[in-house]
Structure 1
Amino acid sequence: MTEPLIRCDWATVHGDAQYEAYHDQEWGVPEYDARALWEKLVLDGFQAGLAWITILRKRDGFRAAFQGFDPEAVARFDEADRARLMADAGIVRSNAKIDAAIDSARLYLGMRDRGEDFADFCWNFVDGRPIQNAWDSISQVPAQTPLSVEMSKALKARGFKFVGPVIVYAWMQATGLVNDHLTACHRHEAVKALAR
């Protein structure tokens, strides 16, 4: 009989196969693609005030509604698109969050057009390598850090919204800018080995 996998405490709370798969396959894996980093930041913005499992269950709906999170397409969204999104039960319907997502596509493209790659911008905060934490208990894992505060300020200075330090830290964890898998978790060392 095989031993059950040890996971971070948060990943087993729901006993949900989709949640566990997200933890085992995605969460904490270093993401170096600029578009994917932007998509995840937008989704974390939609999470504000909600549980991540809510967003995860609607992620396919978000991807369909936001045209695969193609920044060029999203940046062209107009009032008709906003109305379509507000009528779409497959996503979180919030005027403020929808507007922030559309605006963030324009900001992302503006950075690109000025020669500032979004992935480089993000990874520069950690000197190009994931921060490797060694937490033994979920109670040790912070909700935000001085670095997430700094990154939040930098994003806000560029015009991004729904990027407070707690949201930014959750996004840093999700995208592997920081490895916050608990030391006993079966993914801690595996994710650590994925750093460039």
Structure 2
Amino acid sequence: MAVNINNVNLEISAVEPKQYPRSNHPEIALVGRSNVGKSSLTNVLVNRKNYAHTSNQPGKTQTLNFYNVENKIYFVDIPGYGFARVSKMEREKWATMIETYLTQRNQLDGAINLIDGRHKPTQTDIQMKAFLEYYQIPTLIVATKMDKIKKSHWNKSKSLIKKTMGLNDDQLVLFSAKTRSGKDQIWNWIQQQSGVVMD
């Protein structure tokens, strides 16, 4: 079933718990390496062209960005891991901020872990999945940029991702921001996970 979004608002950019929204709306975290396509996924899910800012500069997102969707649920864009050209001290500060949110936020109902579908999952992708599993955070793996792979190679990519990350079919969605392929499956998972029903 197609989900139509009319209202979305970047409500808060937070770096510590006292800045988080004070609502009981369920939250879904978007995690993944820098430049993997978190902003593009957000834009497709909320039916906006350039609402979440996409950047060619990895590591641009340095805060937890809380997107209020239809006043029912928050998407929380988490700073990307890897690539960011920042100091070690800065990276450690980010790590603490991200870990605090993922491990202590009661409203968090699940995480969408984005990986680049064009390549074999990296060690950091595998570590992030293990981290989410350790803290028992329900996770959907979304392989992005699938429009850059020939459709005839999708099964091969899917098998490689599943094997490398130890996934079942229902834990993985192949996604393209360009063609919007996979959007409905992702929304179905979000609604099941959060208990939120979109009109």
- Highest RCO, 1 vs 2 (Cα 8 Å, sep ≥ 6): 1
Pick the structure with more helix per residue: 1
Pick the structure with more strand per residue: 2
Q: Provide the TM-score with structure 1 as the length reference.
A: 0.31
Q: Provide the TM-score with structure 2 as the length reference.
A: 0.31
Larger radius of gyration: 1
